Amino acid sequence: MIALDVVWPRLIAIADEMASTLFRTAFSHDVIEVHDMSTGLYDDRGNLIAQTWLGATGHTGVMPVFGKNLVAAFPPETVHPGDVFICNDPWLCNGQTADVFVTTPAFVGDRLIGLSINSVHHVDIGGRKGSGLSEEVFEEGLILPPLRLYRAGEPNEDLFALIKRNVRFSEKMIGDVRAQMAAGWIGARGLERLAREFGLPTLRPVADEIFRRTEAGMRAGIGRLPDGTYRKSLAMEIAGVPEPQTIALTVTIRGEELIADFAGTAPQVRRPVNSPINYTRAYVAVPVKMVCDPEWPNNEGTYRPLTVRAPEGCLVNPTYPAACFWRLAAGMLVSELMFRILAEIAPDRVPADSGSMPTWQFYVNGTRRNGEAFALHQHAFGGMGGRPGLDGLASVSFPYNVRDVSVEWAELETPILFERRELIPDSGGAGRWRGGLGEELALRAFDDGRLDPTASIVLSGSAGRMQFAPAGLFGGRPGSFGRILVNDVPIAPTSSPEVTFRAGDVVRLLLPGGGGYGDPREREGALVDADLRHGYVTPDAARRNYGRE
């Protein structure tokens, strides 16, 4: 099938073109700067065939299941040219109301051949502004079940009006929805042109061959791991919940399949850190993919050898209407657990604990004197764990795969001044291969004369590792704790911080460093010298950890 070598990269290129279209037509920094999105092409059964290389991991890993959810809601016989669909239901989509999925069908003649789908994290979706205190999903904004945004080329004005009236910054939010429609249009036209050019009446044979090869690649990788059952758990700190809560994971490898079972995980909590199963599945898949099959592109076939089970109503499979806006607080720890288990199975391919799991994703919301709201949606990253043969990367979006908002953009759009953004010396766990350094952000709200002096400014989001530092591996030392300080006073450890402050106050976010890999006494002297030279390690710590006088 020589044509496949032409068609497959072409499909991925179309998905990449969809992503560029999103960046070029979007209105919010979430899309333009952060790339908190994904794009993909599907066959008419809702199977993901191809995806952009640029997407965020949650979106990326959820797209395969979303396609099937969309087809279940709108079977092919109900879909017509010019239709556009929208959905953000956390249990059908990406586990969070702010992630909105837009679907554009592709036709050859009257026949539905496939779907062009993209997802975007929106700057607002209504509700409590991503509060860290939400107890139910109803507080987290508008929930859109699968609905028609356009019917045969005509906008569903009722729905647009409903959305507009329920979100802040509606011009940005609707603008980004329209960017999603543009990306959907590019994808659907690309699919149609490709089908015409290669004379394909259906994409199914091409799709099935792509799935077969990808699945075979994954299965071969899993097959090379020894059979067995491995069990680990970790604890997460949740403000408002008295005791740390456990995420427990049992991984069974049997031949060429892998089963991840979360039996024993704590029940869902009345805080927005629960991770709906779609999101949990995405973060189970990422470490398996990295370890077993880093080469083949991502698609439906990637997920076929994986089975994910989790008790209903637990932290990693909460039931409606659990709060889940900051589901990455639990969801990304799922990846950490997977890495810990894989470290036992494939120690030469897995890093120590990463301070970058979970990402600290947060909003800073406030009000100006004229009543106008402002919002910064920002990401901050801890350090990656030390790797077999390499130090961990400093302050990196691993394995989340997004970027942060540039300081320039943030300061232009909001009265938040970045007093400091720097790597934290000694935050990376000592080891033969040192953990990556975490970063510190110091934010000050400054009164530019337009700030409402009576309204407080709220920082809310996800955090972690404030009570349980990223662990070292094979003798490596742990990375630093995460910390949040308001005017130098630390807040209590939590996974969903909600900090209120005023103009002049300084909020410092200290992101955790990664754990070290291997015994620090085995670290090469030249590497310690370089760390001292760069200021990554202080002379004190060099003496203490590496015996350097």
Partner 1 sequence: MHAYHLAAKLGVPEVIVPLRAGVLSALGLVTAPVAYDTVCTYRVPLVELDAHAIDAVFREMADDVTRTLRTADREGAVAFARAVDVGYLGQGYQVTIAVDGTETALGRDALRRRFADVYREKYGYFYDDVPVELVNLRLTGRLVESPILLAPLPASPSASASPKHERPAYSARERRLIPFAVYDRAELGPGVTIHGPAIVEEASATTVMDAGGELDVDAWGSLVIMVGGELRSR
Q: Which residues bind partner 1 (CB under 8 A)?
A: 21, 23-27, 29, 32-33, 171-172, 175, 178, 181-182, 185-186, 189, 193, 197
Residue type, 242: P
Minimum CB–partner distance for residue 172 and partner 1 (Å): 7
Q: Determine the 3-state secondary structure of 22 from DSSP.
A: helix
Beta carbons of 236 and 273 less than 8 angstroms apart = yes
Per-residue tokens: 173: 């939010």
Nearer to partner 1, 178 or 502 (CB): 178
The CB-of-23 to partner 1 minimum distance in angstroms stands at: 7
Q: Are 111 and 151 in contact (CB under 8 A)?
A: no
d(CA 394, CA 388): 16
Give strand pairing partners of 423.
439
Tokens of 154: 């005509």
User: Does an H or E element contain 366, and which?
Assistant: strand 360-367
Q: How far is the CB of 181 from partner 1 (least distance, A)?
A: 6
Pairing of β 257-261 and β 306-309: parallel
Neighbour-count burial of 486, counting CB atoms closer than 10 A to its CB (0-12 exposed, 13-18 middle, 19+ buried): middle
Q: Which is nearer to partner 1, 375 or 424 (CB)?
A: 375
Distance CA 354, CA 339 (A): 10
C-alpha gyration radius of the chain: 23
Determine the distance from the C-alpha atom of residue 378 to the mean position of all C-alpha atoms in its chain, rounded to a whole number.
13
Amino acid identity of 334?
Answer: V
**84/509 with CB nearer partner 1:** 84
CA distances from 528 to 215, 393, 520 (A): 43, 16, 10
Q: Which is nearer to partner 1, 79 or 338 (CB)?
A: 79
Measured from the CB atom, the residue of 34 and 288 that comes closer to partner 1 is 34
- Cα→Cα distances 93→65, 85, 162, 301, 472, Å: 8, 13, 20, 19, 34
Q: Minimal distance in Å, beta carbon 32 to partner 1? A: 4
Q: Which CB sits closer to partner 1, 197 or 312?
A: 197
Phi, psi of 35 (to 5 degrees): 60, 35
Q: How far is the CB of 20 from partner 1 (least distance, A)?
A: 10
Least Å from the CB of residue 446 to partner 1: 23
356 phi and psi angles, rounded to 5 deg: -80, -5
At its nearest, how many Å lie between partner 1 and the CB of residue 359? Answer: 22
Q: Which amino acid is at 449?
A: G
Least distance to partner 1, CB of residue 15, Å: 16
Angle of helix 57-73 versus helix 277-292 axis, rounded to 10? 130
Residue 208 tokens, joined: 């099935």
**Whole-angstrom distance, CA of residue 495 vs CA of residue 485:** 15
What minimum distance in Å lies between the beta carbon of 393 and partner 1?
27
If the CB atoms of residues 170 and 456 are measured against partner 1, the closer one turns out to be 170
Choice between 171 and 524, CB closer to partner 1: 171
Cβ 21 to partner 1 shortest distance, Å = 6
